[in-house]
């Protein structure tokens, strides 16, 4: 018999590393959390307070994003969730077609609610909203580089306008002056907006205190839409307080490895730092992969005798100039896929050699590795750096389960690759 208690919060994230980011904030605020890769086919097999379903719906066609999100909602409802959280990027990545507006609207319709909030504010990551305008660091969103994003260029920082272009519901604002006055004032403003026919309200927040003031006002709101920041104020509504128990994972064992396919600046520094420690590292040359050489066998033969002495690094991480040159010869997409496929088989091969503590760097690279390892569900553990927790997954490829951390490109300090293993060891201490 399944003795599991019902989950309380059900979240739907529009991308993979964004899901971990949300899960990480929930764990830090006291919830036990599982992240699933896509919508599970069976019932939840874990006793947790919240589940984050990771979709890949940020840039697909709106109809497809709606379909996936509604399927996730139905599954989360079946697991007993009483409040739902639609999680998107802290830079509100979307186009006038969506998908934040259309998905929000579809979830509202499915839940039969006439009001929700929307705010990507995440002050810990320097995303603040003031008078409805989103700032990334010290500049407006549309001056932050996001105006040049290849898929979701953000050319307007006014989120009321941005959201209004994506939805038929009327969009309003709960501004900082209201948020500063706390729960009662926020609730009063919500009543006022509803009476005016507003369906979605952008909420200002410039500090974590604002998010903690917002949390209690969302207690009985069936649907919340936000970046990961709002999550810090929600677990308290379920009677939960921050506790190291929330992120407790099974004790770590086994060998250690890092697989890095990210070419982001932070990852370049992290690879440089690892090389400087003198630990063994193997650089993957995409042109050798394109030439059909058996790099996989070579890497595994190289790693096998080294693993017993400590972590090894396998990386395709390269400077922008080198990446451009490879992309020029192989094509951007083909080069990416070739490298992702190779790193994913290497991750699988390393796990077959006994690796049970695996660091993966790169969003797309993480997706490929998790897929190759047949992982469908991860228990979220302690934070290593903001937005990056250790996780534990069951995998047919890893007897006894596997600890892994999926680091999106620009997250993490320079010593992340060494620090991650030390942090995991320390987290097991009583």
DSSP annotation of 56 reads -
- By CB under 6 A, the count of residues binding ligand ADP is 21
Sign of the dihedral defined by the CA atoms of residues 215, 221, 227, 231, in that order: positive
- Chosen residue from 262, 395, 418, 427 binding ligand ADP by CB under 6 A: 262
Taking residues 346 to 375 in sequence order and writing x for each that binds ligand ADP by CB under 6 A, - otherwise, the string is: ----------------xxxx----------
Q: How far is the CB of 317 from ligand ADP (least distance, A)?
A: 6
What is the three-class DSSP state of 127?
strand
Q: How far is the CB of 319 from ligand ADP (least distance, A)?
A: 9
* Nearer Cβ to ligand ADP (70/322): 322
Residue 326, interface with ligand ADP (CB under 6 A)?
yes
* Nearer Cβ to ligand ADP (193/342): 342
Strands (E), 276-367: 281-283, 312-315, 355-361
Please list every residue from 267 through 306 that binds ligand ADP, using CB under 6 A: 267, 286
Residue 405, interface with ligand ADP (CB under 6 A)?
no
End-to-end CA gap in the chain = 31
Residue 264, interface with ligand ADP (CB under 6 A)?
yes
* Nearer Cβ to ligand ADP (178/314): 314
What is the three-class DSSP state of 61?
coil
Residue identified by tokens 């010290």 is: 138
Identify whether the C-beta of residue 167 lies closer than 8 Å to the C-beta of residue 62. Answer: no
Residue 86 pairs in a beta bridge with 12, 225
Task: State the SS3 of 202-222.
Answer: EECECCHHHHHHHHHHCCCCC
Q: How far is the CB of 122 from ligand ADP (least distance, A)?
A: 18
Q: For the CA atoms of 419, 257, 363, 207, what is the dihedral angle to 10 degrees?
A: -10
* Nearer Cβ to ligand ADP (113/322): 322
Residue 340, interface with ligand ADP (CB under 6 A)?
yes
Cα–Cα distance for residue pair 255/116, rounded to 1 Å: 46
Residue 408, interface with ligand ADP (CB under 6 A)?
yes
Residue 263, interface with ligand ADP (CB under 6 A)?
yes
Taking residues 103 to 142 in sequence order and writing x for each that binds ligand ADP by CB under 6 A, - otherwise, the string is: ----------------------------------------
Cα–Cα distance for residue pair 96/140, rounded to 1 Å: 19
Cα–Cα distance for residue pair 354/236, rounded to 1 Å: 40
What residue ranges bind ligand ADP (CB under 6 A)?
A: 261-264, 267, 286, 316, 318, 323, 326-327, 335-336, 339-340, 362-365, 408-409
């Amino acid at each position: 018999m399944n003795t599991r208690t019902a989950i309380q919060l059900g979240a739907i994230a529009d991308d993979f590393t964004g899901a971990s980011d949300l899960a990480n904030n929930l764990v830090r605020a006291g919830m036990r959390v599982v992240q699933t890769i896509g919508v599970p086919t069976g019932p939840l097999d874990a006793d947790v307070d919240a589940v984050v379903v990771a979709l890949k719906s940020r840039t697909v066609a709106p109809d497809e994003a709606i379909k996936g999100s509604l399927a996730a909602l139905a599954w989360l409802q079946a697991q007993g969730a009483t409040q739902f959280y639609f999680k998107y990027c802290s830079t509100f990545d979307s186009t006038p077609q969506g998908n934040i507006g259309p998905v929000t609207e579809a979830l509202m319709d499915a839940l039969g609610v006439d009001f929700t909030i929307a705010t990507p504010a995440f002050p810990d990551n320097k995303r603040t909203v003031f008078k409805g305008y989103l700032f990334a660091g010290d500049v407006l969103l549309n001056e932050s580089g996001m105006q040049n994003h290849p898929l979701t260029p953000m050319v307007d920082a006014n989120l009321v306008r941005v959201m209004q272009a994506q939805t038929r519901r009327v969009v309003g604002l709960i501004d900082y002056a209201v948020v500063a006055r706390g729960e009662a004032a926020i609730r009063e403003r919500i009543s006022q907006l509803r009476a005016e026919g507003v369906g979605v309200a952008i909420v200002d927040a410039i500090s974590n205190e604002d998010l903690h003031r917002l949390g209690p006002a969302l207690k009985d709101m069936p649907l919340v839409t936000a970046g990961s920041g709002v999550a810090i104020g929600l677990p308290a509504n379920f009677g939960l307080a921050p506790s190291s128990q929330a992120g407790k994972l099974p004790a770590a064992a086994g060998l250690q490895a890092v697989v890095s396919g990210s070419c982001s600046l932070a990852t370049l520094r992290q690879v440089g730092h690892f090389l400087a420690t003198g630990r063994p590292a193997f650089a993957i040359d995409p042109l050798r992969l394109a030439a059909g050489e058996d790099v996989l066998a070579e890497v595994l033969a190289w790693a096998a005798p080294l693993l017993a002495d400590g972590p090894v690094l396998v990386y395709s991480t390269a400077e922008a100039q080198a990446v451009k040159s490879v992309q020029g010869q192989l094509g951007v997409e083909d080069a990416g896929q070739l490298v992702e496929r190779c790193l994913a088989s290497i991750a699988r091969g390393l796990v077959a050699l006994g690796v049970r503590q695996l660091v993966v760097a790169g969003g797309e690279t993480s997706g490929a590795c998790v897929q190759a390892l047949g992982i469908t569900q991860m228990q979220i553990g302690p934070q290593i750096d903001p937005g990056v927790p250790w996780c534990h997954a069951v995998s047919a490829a890893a007897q006894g389960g596997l600890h892994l951390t999926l680091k999106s490109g620009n997250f993490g300090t320079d010593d992340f690759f060494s620090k991650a293993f030390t942090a995991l060891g320390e987290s097991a201490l009583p």
